[in-house]
Structure formats: C-alpha cells, structure tokens
A and B are shown apart, each in its own frame.
Chain A
Amino acid sequence: MTVTDEEWFDEAAGPLVRPYAMTGGRTRSTTLGLDLITLVVAMHTVSEVDLDQEYARILQACQQPISVVEVAAQVDLPLQVVKVLLSDLIIQRHIIFRSAEAQTSESPSQHVLQAVLDGIRKL
C-alpha cells in the first residue's frame, strides 16, 4: 500500500497492482481466523479516515454488519485478499468483527437449529 512521492498516475487509471500485491504478499497466516461468515462492521465512515482505495472500498461495504464472503462479492476481490485487508482494518480498529456461531462451537446449538427451522417455515 505504498504511495511514492512521485505519483505519475491518477485514480481514474484504476489499481495498478495485482491482488496479492495489495496484501503485501501476505496470505493465510495473518487473517485473525476470519471465516466465510464472520460478521464485520465498520466503526467509522469512509470520510472519517484516510485510507487507500481498496481499504476504503472495503470499509464502505462494512457500514452495516456484513459477512466476509459478502464483502468479497461486493468489492469483487478474491476471498483470501479480502480477509487480509479486513484483518488490517480490524487491527487498525476501523472495523470490528464477531466470530461466526459456527466458529464458537463445533456444530450449531439446538437453539440455533430451532431458530433456523422456524425461520425457514415462515418463508
């Protein structure tokens, strides 16, 4: 995410870096255990903070609680890239996350199963 002193391109040119360059080459070990359905939500609006373009797009997508996989679909970046960028934003306290129900226990509780059953019947 480095911007040099000599900016010879403008934003209209779009990203000049390949997806994994956005993450500084980081992959699986640094994503705080983020799962497909981990829910994330922004603590700031985009206008409140000064972020590079890809981070800003992700922060914008997280203005309401949203799952990691939905963020990836919205910003149209590969899942693993989104997990790394989200982790950065979490570490910088721009975003908070709540572990999925799925991660807190091996399998969903009877309470969750019953709620889902009731919800599907009501569809």
Chain B
Amino acid sequence: MAYGNSDQQRVQPTRATKLVIAGGFGVGKTTMVGSVSEIPPLRTEELITEASEGVDDLAGVEQKTTTTVALDFGRITINEDLILYLFGTPGQDRFWFMWDELARGAIGAVVLADTRRLDSCFGAVDFFERRGLPFVVGVNCFDNAYRYGTEEVRAALDIDDHIPVLLCDARERESTKQVLVTLLQHAMAEARLAGTVS
C-alpha cells in the first residue's frame, strides 16, 4: 500500500459490501459494531434540511431547520479483495431516507432488540420486511433485564418462523460473530430460495 504515482505502484480498489444493524435508540447498535470491527466505530454526519414542525409558524412563510443525523459504522476486511462495512442505523425512526441508502444492496440486517422496550424495534422489522431484506433478530441480554425466551420475543414481534431469533450480548465479540454468521446463513438460504422460484 505504498504511496506513489506510477500505475505499477497503485493498489487496485477492492470490492465492498455492507450490512445493517438496526434497533431502537440506546439498544447497543454501536456497541455491536465495535465488538467485531477492526477499527473503533467511526461517525459521519449528514445535514438534513426539513420543514420545521412548529404550530405557530407564520402562515405562508416556509420555516426550515437543519438537523444533523449521525451514522456510526465499522469495518471488517474479509479478504484482500473484499471489505465488509457494518452500519448502525440512525436512532431516530423519522430518518427513513437514510435507511433506504443503508439497505440498498446490503447483505441483510440485524434487528437488535431490548426486551425492556420491544416496541422500539417494530419500525425496523416492518422496514426490512417491506424491503424484502433478509434479517435476523438479536435479543440483546442486558445484565439487569428479565430474559425472555426467543419464542416469546418472536411472538411479541409477530415474526415468521423462518426468521432466526437469537439471544446475544452485543459487547461480546463471539456473540456478535454468532449473530452475523446466523444472518449470513439466513441470507444465503433466502437467496437460494429466490433462485429456485424465479
């Protein structure tokens, strides 16, 4: 990877692919990214201009505000030719347009669930179901949280039987690896299924 200006020295760009880690605010998405990333999670920001939602706007005067959406991500070099990026979704559900770019062409998604606030991942489950993006549900086991069984979570979230639901600890590298391996196996099974149907 030497610096240089001749074509001989130039390293060829490799290929990149990505997966998405979604879930409610504070559920541990960035922690999960960091548990397997080869770099500390990086943050980038996007400026969003949106109409303000105030009720006392002057009629006929368009009010706009600029908001910043933060996107955390990590990286795993799979081999010399392929890089995997892991993106944590922005915590606020209203930034769906960011989810569109994140989901486009992604391998799949992990929906990280906190059993104390299961409702906070309904939006993510709906989104990936509608997009037809393969996903698995990781139930993050917080130390002081009552541990529901995976089937209870499946029932509460109304998730199809063929979609994997597994317990995990987002802080633990081995646990996150297991979640990602399950996602990859699920995505490959879905792709094979799609291949035989079409």
Contact = CB atoms under 8 A, between A and B. Distances in A.
Given A36-B85, A106-B105, A119-B78, A96 B13 contact: yes
B163 interface: no
Nearest to A117: B184
**On chain B, which size bracket covers the interface?**
35 or more
**On chain A, which size bracket covers the interface?**
35 or more
Given A79-B44, A120-B76, A39 B16 contact: yes
Contact of A113 (B12, B87, B191): B191
B190 to A, nearest CB: 9
Given A69-B71, A98-B13, A102-B104, A79 B46 contact: yes
Interface in B100-128: 101-102, 104-107
A80 B187 contact: no
B15 to A, nearest CB: 5
B64 interface: no
B78 A108 contact: no
Given A37-B85, A65-B13, A107-B191, A113 B18 contact: no
Interface of A: 19-20, 35-41, 43-45, 48, 63-65, 67, 69-70, 72-73, 78-81, 96-98, 100-103, 105-108, 110, 112-121, 123
